[in-house]
Amino acid sequence: MATVVLVLGAVYVAGYLLAGDRAPRNASVGGVPIGGLPREEAVATLEEQLAPRADAPITLSAGDTVEELLPEEVGLSIDSAASVEESGAGRSWDPTQIWQVLTGGSEREPVTRVDEARVAEAVAAFAEGADGEPEDATLAYEGTEVQVEEASTGVTVDQQATVEQLVEAYPRSTTVEATAEVTQPDVTTEEAEQVAEEVAEPAVSAPVEVEAGDAGTFEVSPESIAAATTFEVAEGGYVARYDAEKLLEGNEEAVEELDTTRAKDAYWTLEGGTPELVEAVDGTSVGADALLEAVRPVLTTSGSERKASVELTEKKAEFTTEDAEKAKVTEVTGEFTTRFPVANGGEYRNTNLGQVAKRIDGYWLAPGETFSMNGVVGERSAENGFVDGYVIQGGVLKKESGGGVSQGATTIFNAAFFAGLEDVEHHPHTLYFPRYPPGREATVYYGSLDLRFKNDTPYGVVIEADRVPGSGSKQGSLTVKIWSTPVYDEIRSPDPEKSDFTSGRRLESDDPECEYQAPIQGFTADFHRAFIQDGKEVKRENYTWTYDPGDEIVCE
């Protein structure tokens, strides 16, 4: 036994002594022969020939996420010097190296340098982009086009295992599939495409012809079918859901052309000095649920099979006679009259205030609703029947379509004011006009300044408006009445108090369109609105407004 040990020891020492500065005759690293090369030359050879592999990007993937990693940036590199040494070049008591010397060398894998912290950081950044919940394929209409968005799998990357994979693979492999838990979506792209082909596309392939008995026929358009259809996930697949109201809404014009009895809401006529209730009338029409029930079975058919029939259903008036009676529109709760001159170019007031009166006369304001003058009267344009008149711009009177409409706003405001209705928005003029109560008046400008008040009572409101045209020196007038039931015994507002008077300047203008403007005094107006119940004031609202002085403008 001692002899064997001595022999092995001698061999071991011999291997150490035989080792020199050259690589063993059969040595190779990563497939690169370096046998017999001096150590420095062997290192240079490996650095040159292994460089493409050492620097090659590593493609890391998980599910649908693919990213390229550069070895140098993520802390991976080949140690050529250590690789040559491990192949057997140079003296060392390392048993592995001595064995390489004694056997003449062999093929070895390159020695790598690994910065695990940087590799882990790179994997964490990759996982942040790759990790996610599965997403079902989506199915929807865009117009009448069927759109399918592809599904995606859910991914959870095992970061530690993936770090080990990268280290193990480098530099032998440039493709690494990360260790990850992959979760499939509930609805795949293929399943969504099948529903699209079998349900969604046939449904909008052509109109559906619907017969409504003696009332006639009409077509349900593909556009309305698409707008009324959504697709929901149920039991692992997509199921079409239909909105009956949207389907009917999308075909309202066609349904209106049927020969049916129209339902009519209750309303009031204002002829004869007092509101007269006209009772509601029920009618017949195509019901939303009935239409969907008729159309749905033929949505996946084509050609002549796309026909259906529907029975007319009773259609109740939306505002019934009973509703109107409960509103208690019984008496005038607020009334106001303003007068306007038409001489010297003021004829536009007849037209514009007439348009205002026409649009608000008979207007119904339910409890809780808010009246908007801009909303009810609309844009004061020539297309809507208005003509040019004077408006205030920058303290100067200028002509513009719809001028003079603010007198309508003032009249409406005061009628609502004395009816005790809630003041939501009003804007007095910047300049004072004597035909209005100081401060207690309103101007409007479409798109920016509005007049709004809320029916904050439990009763309905009907607005009556009457414009009496002026002629020559005879002034015209506009009267607005609020018909309802009073909540308070009385609304009081004494004449406004004026203070802090100011005067404008005298200006000369050479503008070809200049028109003389008389000076207008500025001042502050203070007033209030008192709500009287059982002879006592139960609420008070205070108001104040300061008018700018108007410059006298003299035309040169």
Domain containing residue 248: CATH number: 3.10.20
**Which residue among 130, 155, 180 closes a domain?**
180
List 331's β-bridge partners, or say none.
484
Domain count, the chain: 3
To which residue do tokens 């399918």 refer? 148
Dihedral-angle region of residue 353 (phi above 0 means left; psi in -120 to 50 means alpha; beta otherwise) = alpha
In a domain, 272, yes or no: no
In a domain, 273, yes or no: no
Please indicate, yes or no, whether residues 201 and 332 belong to a single structural domain of this protein: no
pTM of the model: 0.60
Residues 292 and 340 in one domain: no
Judge whether 325 and 281 are in contact, CB under 8 Å.
no
Alpha-carbon dihedral 249, 317, 371, 495, rounded to 10 degrees: 170
For residues 543 and 397, membership in a common domain is answered with yes
Among the three residues 180, 204, 235, which one is the final residue of a domain in this structure? 180
If asked whether residues 104 and 123 sit together in one domain, one would say yes
Tell me, yes or no, whether 292 and 363 share the same domain. Answer: no
- Contact residues for 184 (Cβ-Cβ < 8 A; gap 6+): 134, 153, 154
Same domain, 172 and 227: no
The CA-atom distances, in angstroms, between 94 and each of 37, 83, 257 are 20, 14, 100
- 271 domain-assigned: no
Asked if residue 175 is part of any domain, the answer here is yes
Q: Are residues 417 and 369 part of one domain?
A: yes
Query: Is residue 62 located within the same domain as residue 132?
Result: yes
345 and 312, same domain (yes or no): no
Find the domain containing 202 and state its range: 191-266+278-316
Please identify every stretch of the chain with a pLDDT value under 50, giving residue numbers as ranges: 2-19, 91-93, 96-97, 99-102, 104
- With respect to residue 223, please indicate whether it lies within any of the assigned structural domains: yes
User: Do 289 and 346 fall into the same domain?
Assistant: no
**What are the CA-CA distances from residue 453 to residues 326, 421, 502 (Å)?**
22, 7, 32
Does 414 lie in the same domain as 285? no
Q: What is the model's pLDDT at position 394? A: 62
Has residue 74 been placed in a domain? yes
Whole-number pLDDT of residue 397: 66
Residue 105 and residue 80 share a domain: yes
Q: Where are the beta strands (DSSP E) in 493-547?
A: 497-502, 506-509, 522-533, 536-546
Phi, psi of 213 (to 5 degrees): 60, -140
Q: For position 99, what pLDDT does the model report?
A: 46
- Is 475 in a helix, a strand, or coil? coil
Beta-strand ranges (E) seen in 150-255 are: 154-157, 175-177, 180-183, 208-211, 217-220, 229-234, 237-242
Cα–Cα dist 357/98, whole Å: 113
Is 341 contained in some domain? yes
Domain-terminating residue out of 160, 180, 200: 180
Residue 549: CB atoms within 10 Å: 18
Nearest to 195 by CA among 140, 144, 246: 140
DSSP string, 42-100: HHHHHHHHSHHHHHPPEEEEETTEEEEE-HHHHTEEE-HHHHHHHHT-S----HHHHHH
* Contacts with 347 (C-beta within 8 Å, 6 or more apart), sequence order: none
Q: Is residue 199 in a domain? A: yes
Neighbours of 238 (CB within 10 A): 25
User: What's the rounded Cα separation, in Å, for the pair 260 and 274?
Assistant: 33
